[in-house]
Amino acid sequence: MFNVVVGHSNDPDSLSAITEVIEQCQNSLEGKIPQAGILFAAIDFDYALILQEIIRAFPGIELIGGTTDAEISSVLQFQQDSITLMLFSSSEIEIYAGLGQDLSKNTILATQKAVEQAKSKIRNQASSQLCLTVPESLTVDGVSIVEGLKLALGKNIPIFGGLTSDQWKFQKTYQFFQTEVLTDAVPILIFSGEFLFSQGVASGWHPLGEKSQVTKVERNVLYEIDGKPALNFYHHYLGGLPPSGEYPLAVFESLSEEFYMRAPSTYDEENGSITFLGEIPKNAFVQIAQAGRNEILGAAKTAITNALKNYPGTKPDAALFFSCAARRQLLGTRTIEEYQIAQECLKMNIPGCGFYTHGEISPLNSGGETRLHHETFVTLLIGVQ
């Protein structure tokens, strides 16, 4: 048995909103006791009050969460300024939470502590495992968080989630663990046991021109491509237009056709460097990418369709979605169509929940290593049958 329920409220009052969410969840649970949950909340709620109410309603629950750019669920579809909660109860799957703090001081130690805390509660360590996480996005590069988690978990354990966000303010994001409201932290849930899952990952952006090689980079600051200033590379393809989220880099770690996206944030006219929102590997191959709104929306359909096609069972019990805040900015009033597409593709009464992130976390493909993505739509389906 694996029971998943979702509550979602757009009431601006924190107590009224969480009361509504909890009531929705309790009605759907029909007496079952949830063992874990994940909360997505917009900026400006009273998080401490919300977390206390959840723990009071569901004592002993393993709870994580974080702040968002926007929220989506099978209850209210796309919303801004709302809170949504997904709860898991199962007799077949162990789900435990862990927390790492002070990411900016020592990312490896923080991610290791989060994994150790969650794993210390798991009875069957040999069973299949999967990790969900909603870490900090502003105090440390998301790539280092992903790499730290991979080091602690093992590269074969898939990791899904998104970097917490703050409605495009880029000032402060919050992470939740039990009743704690944190920053600079990495909360995780580890699923362990007999369960099935599948994923779909797509962006809608298409690379332009020939592949070129990164020849000088320091973490997320790209100085040279093919021995020339990175800014020249952009000007060559965009006719003098400056780097922007509308034209991210497609990053290829090998000569294969698989790539992930890196969004530019700022640039330096004097030295021709471009700062990106995530680290770019040395010697990687890159291409500028472009997409229209229809292609961006088409990627959501591709991600969901691929997840359904690859699901190894008959019907998933839950769907989780992680979409980029930059996608929301570019889609504007059409953002609501992303989740409408999800519902049309699923064609089943599957509880769904997700948020718009500062960076999406998932393997590039089934069985591959986990990566940090930008401007991408990630679908995760979980179930036991």
Please tell me the predicted confidence (pLDDT) of residue 168.
87
Residues 300 and 184 in one domain: yes
| pLDDT grade for 339, boundaries at 50, 70 and 90 | confident
Distance CA 77, CA 134 (A): 20
Burial label for 134, CB within 10 Å (0-12, 13-18, 19+), is: buried
pLDDT tens sequence across 39-69: 999 999 999 999 999 999 999 999 999 999 9
Q: How many CA atoms lie within 13 A of 326 on its CB side?
A: 25
Which residue, of 275, 290, 305, is where some domain finishes?
290
Residue 348, pLDDT > 80, answer no
Cβ distance 195 to 128 under 8 Å?
A: yes
Q: Does 52 lie in the same domain as 190?
A: yes
What's the CA angle centered on 79, arms 78 and 82, to 5 degrees? 140
pLDDT at residue 347 tops 80: no
**Rounded Cα–Cα distance for residues 79 and 42 (Å):** 9
- The percentage of the chain sitting over the pLDDT mark of 90, rounded to a whole number, equals 87
Amino acid at 329: Q
Q: Give the CATH number of the domain where residue 269 resides.
A: 2.40.30
Do 106 and 246 reside in the same domain of the chain? no
The answer to whether the beta carbons of residues 323 and 354 sit under 8 Å apart is yes
Average the pLDDT over 98-122 and give the result: 97
Model confidence band, residue 219 (pLDDT cutoffs 50, 70, 90): very high
* Angle at 202 (CA atoms; ends 198, 205), nearest 5 degrees: 175
Q: What is the pLDDT of residue 57?
A: 98
Looking at the predicted structure, is the pLDDT value of residue 171 above 90?
yes
Sign, Cα dihedral of 205, 208, 213, 217? negative
| pLDDT over 80 (residue 255) | no
Say yes or no to pLDDT of 328 above 80. Answer: yes
Termini Cα distance of the chain: 9
Give the C-alpha separation, 106 to 86, whole Å: 30
> Is 265 in the same domain as 189?
no
Both 165 and 305 in one domain: the answer is yes
The first and second tokens of residue 355, run together, are 């948020």
Distance between CA atoms of residues 165 and 138, nearest Å = 8
Q: Residue 271's domain spans which residues?
A: 206-290
* 306 and 376 part of one domain: yes
Please tell me whether residues 63 and 188 are part of one structural domain. yes
Residue 345 confidence (pLDDT): 87
Longest dimension (CA), the chain: 64
Same domain, 320 and 244: no
Over residues 204-225, mean pLDDT = 95
Give the residue with greater pLDDT, 240 vs 185: 185
The answer to whether residues 185 and 317 belong to one domain is yes
Contact of 262 with 252, CB cutoff 8 Å? no
294-329 burial, b at 16+ Cβ within 10 Å, e below that, comes to eebbbbbbbbbbbbbeebeeeebbbbbbbbbbbbbe
Domain boundary pick from 290, 319, 334: 290
Which amino acid is it at 122? I
The one-letter amino acid code at 93 reads: I
Residues 53 and 146 occupy one common structural domain: yes
Amino acid in position 115: V
Q: Give the model's pLDDT for residue 233.
A: 93
Each residue of 140-156: pLDDT tens digit? 999 999 999 999 999 99
Task: With a cut of 90, say whether residue 127 has pLDDT above it.
Answer: no
Helices (H), 184-292: 230-238
Q: Are 353 and 320 in contact (CB under 8 A)?
A: yes
Q: What are the backbone dihedrals phi and psi of residue 172, each rounded to the nearest 5 degrees, phi first?
A: -160, 130
| The pLDDT value given to residue 297 | 96
Checking if the pLDDT of 177 tops 90, the result is yes
* Last-in-domain residue among 244, 265, 290: 290
The whole-chain average pLDDT of the chain stands at 95
- Going by C-alpha positions, the residue among 19, 28, 80 that lies closest to residue 52 is 19
> What span, in angstroms and rounded, lies between the C-alpha atoms of 352 and 349?
9
Indicate whether 133 and 183 sit together in one domain: yes
Banded pLDDT at 209 (limits 50, 70, 90): confident
- Total-model pTM: 0.96
- The DSSP string of 96-162 is EEEEE--TTT-HHHHHHHHHHHHHTT-S-TTS-EEEEE---SSSS-HHHHHHHHHHHH-TTS-EEEE
Side chain identity, residue 251: V
Number of structural domains, the chain? 2
Question: Domain check: are 246 and 124 in the same one?
Answer: no
